[in-house]
């Protein structure tokens, strides 16, 4: 899994792609793992390379992209840079270092590749030749650069860096510089997995082809985020075609106001006048990810309608820059626009969106009255889309049986061609289970799509223990996703059948279906879960006496709730990062808009029927009915749902005399990101299920 060769590491500039390296650091590269018996294992999952961003050269002839590799023994990862021809040929790794090389893109007309690297001790901007040689540091910013974009004329650099926005204890009491206490005076003092002390800001700097100089914070003195935490990146900012304006995303709120609102806007900063204009003022939900059209006449962005509703429909808005007129361009698509790119001639926009549990690529034709046409099909998800010359797109694609690879899509005949085969050497050693689409009639007479994943070498004459998978979000699609933790093929390889329903509250089946979960956590969505497992339990190959129920986040809440309502259907439960006590969840979480919208309000609002219905369905109220073994998993750096929720659920089970186990991670957030923690998660997960579902 680790390349044994150690090289000496040099300073800023080297003649080769690798540079020099310290003796005690091993380069993490592509794994040559050997898999026994054709069975997917946790180790084989973590041996897979993970493809990152891909960028096309200005002439459309080459693609640069990154791949992350993980080492379980070193308990860390590294990211390397690759270049290939636009048809997938000539694929070559051009870096091989212990540094994290990210955000690779083309500059100087395609003669150089710019990228971020921590080679100098901080994340800075570097460049190299197309073969990886002559690495050269371009920036010497005091802090870490987190993302960047060159202006179209190549003379300016837009980059993201953190600025301090909250005074520390030492700022107030300089003589207590070793004190660890944090003084809090407003909400949003914690977010996702950090105590909030800084905010990302956009900087504009000069670039003469050799060095980045004169950085200017275009939000200087403002305590707001751009891009927005916790997941926003450079995609939330955009250059106009004439290199004199920058569109950026920001929610200009702090503290309690930030915690209660999702109202972000698209701002345009004029480099000449230094003036900023809000072009989405009055649009009350999330407005994010602006993109100017290639002809410079329009700007498009994703927009939600309602303030406080983070899972509202993600609409595509197109604005005429001359008239200011805004158009809801994706109106005829009754789902979300997940990502988009303009066509080269600015006459249409290509976007990704989920429909019937698959994320496909679609085209909006402006000349045709915003007619929407699918460009792709099949049991897979497209994770990104960009231009590949004038007549093709490049996209990342995955499925329940394959991690991300890069593909091209012809705009002439919609032909899809696979460009990369990063993990083929691993897939060739693994037997995957069959993935089946089923439609089931729900308790209220609707049709629900359910994915069923069968064990490899499935034998219909045998009986298999079966798992009900409960999705998180709560409004994230159970599409053809690939997970390096909640991996359905991994579960199937352990001889389980997996039942994964697209229950009420998931996108891709119309907005009415999507919105049905808000304020109804213990209602129809739970009935949908019971429909899915009860229908599958009728099959002769399903061992109805050995059913399990697993899930994370809202799926973890679902497990805790079902544990008190399942009427002995299940023999084992696993809940990861779920909330157990909804009263406490309301006060413990950071993004209050989510709790207010989804739960309907605060638990003390006694005259609010929606809120009272929500809190009446708190899982902790039904612990007296718990009778089934349960494993609780949580990360202590999860500030979305605090680890005290899992601890309380575990304690309640033990006090009730219910067999229980707690897996707690002091150093993980809402996910499990470290390799050894990931392996531990998988081993604990299957040991628990095997103990209760495979014993006779």
Which positions are catalytic?
A: 553, 638, 670
Contacts of 424 (CB under 8 A, 6+ apart): none
Give dist(CA 586, CA 574) in Å, integer.
23
Give dist(CA 239, CA 247) in Å, integer.
6
For 655, other C-beta atoms within 10 Å of its C-beta total 10
Give dist(CA 307, CA 315) in Å, integer.
14
Is residue 676 within a helix (H) or strand (E), and if so which, with residue range? helix 675-693
Give dist(CA 338, CA 130) in Å, integer.
31
* Alpha helices by DSSP H, 107-245: 169-172
For 262, other C-beta atoms within 10 Å of its C-beta total 24
Helix (H, G, I), strand (E, B) or coil at 432: coil
For 451, other C-beta atoms within 10 Å of its C-beta total 23
Residue 609 near residue 617 (C-beta atoms within 8 A) = no
Contacts of 661 (CB under 8 A, 6+ apart): 630, 631, 632, 650, 684, 688
Kind of pairing, strands 542-552 and 464-470?
Answer: parallel
Contacts of 278 (CB under 8 A, 6+ apart): 265, 266, 267
Give the start-end residues of each E strand in 184-270. Answer: 190-191, 194-195, 198-207, 212-217, 237-239, 245-250, 265-270
Residue 395, strand partner residues: 385, 407
Q: What are phi and psi of 528, to 5 degrees?
A: -65, -40
Residue 246 near residue 239 (C-beta atoms within 8 A) = yes
Give dist(CA 326, CA 681) in Å, integer.
48
Kind of pairing, strands 447-453 and 416-418?
Answer: unpaired
């Amino acid at each position: 899994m680790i390349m044994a060769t150690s090289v000496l590491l040099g300073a800023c500039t080297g003649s080769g792609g690798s540079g020099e390296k310290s003796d005690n650091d091993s380069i993490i590269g592509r794994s040559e793992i050997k898999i026994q018996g054709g069975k997917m294992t946790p180790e084989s999952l973590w041996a897979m390379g993970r493809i990152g961003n891909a960028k096309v050269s200005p002439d459309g002839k080459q693609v640069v992209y990154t791949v992350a590799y993980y080492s379980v023994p070193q308990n860390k990862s590294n990211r390397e840079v690759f270049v290939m021809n636009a048809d997938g040929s000539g694929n070559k790794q051009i870096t091989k270092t212990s540094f994290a090389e990210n955000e690779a893109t083309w500059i100087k007309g395609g003669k150089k590749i710019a990228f971020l690297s921590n080679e100098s001790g901080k994340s800075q901007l570097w460049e190299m030749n197309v073969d990886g040689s002559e690495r050269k540091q371009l920036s010497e910013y005091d802090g870490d650069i987190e993302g960047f974009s060159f202006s179209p004329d190549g003379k300016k650099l837009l980059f993201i860096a953190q600025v301090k926005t909250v005074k520390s204890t030492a700022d107030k009491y300089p003589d207590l510089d070793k004190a660890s206490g944090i003084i809090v005076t407003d909400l949003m003092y914690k977010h996702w997995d950090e105590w909030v002390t800084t905010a990302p800001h956009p900087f504009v700097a000069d670039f003469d082809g050799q060095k980045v100089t004169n950085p200017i914070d275009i939000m200087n003195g403002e305590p707001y985020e751009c891009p927005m935490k916790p997941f926003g990146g450079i995609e939330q900012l955009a250059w106009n075609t004439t290199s004199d304006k920058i569109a950026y995303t920001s929610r200009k709120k702090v503290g309690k106001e930030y915690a209660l609102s999702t109202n972000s806007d698209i701002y345009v900063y004029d480099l000449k006048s230094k003036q900023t204009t809000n072009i989405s003022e009055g649009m009350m939900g999330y407005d994010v990810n602006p993109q100017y059209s290639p002809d410079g006449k329009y700007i498009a962005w994703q927009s939600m309608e309602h303030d406080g509703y983070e899972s509202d429909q993600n609409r595509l808005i197109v604005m005429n820059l001359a008239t200011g007129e805004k158009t809801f361009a994706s109106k005829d698509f009754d789902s979300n626009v997940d990502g988009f790119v303009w066509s080269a001639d600015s006459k249409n926009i290509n976007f990704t969106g989920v429909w019937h549990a698959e994320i496909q690529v679609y085209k909006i034709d402006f000349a045709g009255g915003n007619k929407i046409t699918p460009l792709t099909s099949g049991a897979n998800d497209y994770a990104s889309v960009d231009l590949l010359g004038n007549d093709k797109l490049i996209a990342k694609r995955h499925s329940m049986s394959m991690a991300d690879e890069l593909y091209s899509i012809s705009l002439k005949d919609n032909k899809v061609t696979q460009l990369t085969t990063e993990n083929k050497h691993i897939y060739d050693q693994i037997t995957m289970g069959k993935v089946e689409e089923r439609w089931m009639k729900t308790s209220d007479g609707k049709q629900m799509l359910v994915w069923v994943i069968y064990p490899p070498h499935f034998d219909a004459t045998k009986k298999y223990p079966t798992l009900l998978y409960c999705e998180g979000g709560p409004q994230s699609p159970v599409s053809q996703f690939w997970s390096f933790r909640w991996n359905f093929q991994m579960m199937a390889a352990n001889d389980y059948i997996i039942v994964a329903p697209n229950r009420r509250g998931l996108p891709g089946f119309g907005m009415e279906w999507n919105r049905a979960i808000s304020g109804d956590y213990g209602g129809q969505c739970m009935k949908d879960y019971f429909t899915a497992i009860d229908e599958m339990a009728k099959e002769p190959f399903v061992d109805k006496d050995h059913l399990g129920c697993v899930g994370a986040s809202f799926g973890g809440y679902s497990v805790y709730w079902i544990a008190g309502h399942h009427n002995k259907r299940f023999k084992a439960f696993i809940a990861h990062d779920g909330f157990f006590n909804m009263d406490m969840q309301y006060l413990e979480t950071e993004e209050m808009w989510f709790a207010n919208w989804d739960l309907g309000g605060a638990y003390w609002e006694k005259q609010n029927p929606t809120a009272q219905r929500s809190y009446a369905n708190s899982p902790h109220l039904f612990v007296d009915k718990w009778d089934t073994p349960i494993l609780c998993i949580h990360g202590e750096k999860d500030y979305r749902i605090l680890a005290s929720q899992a601890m309380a659920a575990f304690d309640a089970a033990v006090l009730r005399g219910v067999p229980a186990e707690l897996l707690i991670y002091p150093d993980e957030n809402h996910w499990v990101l470290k390799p050894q923690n990931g392996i531990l998660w998988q081993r604990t997960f299957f040991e628990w299920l095997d103990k209760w579902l495979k014993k006779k």
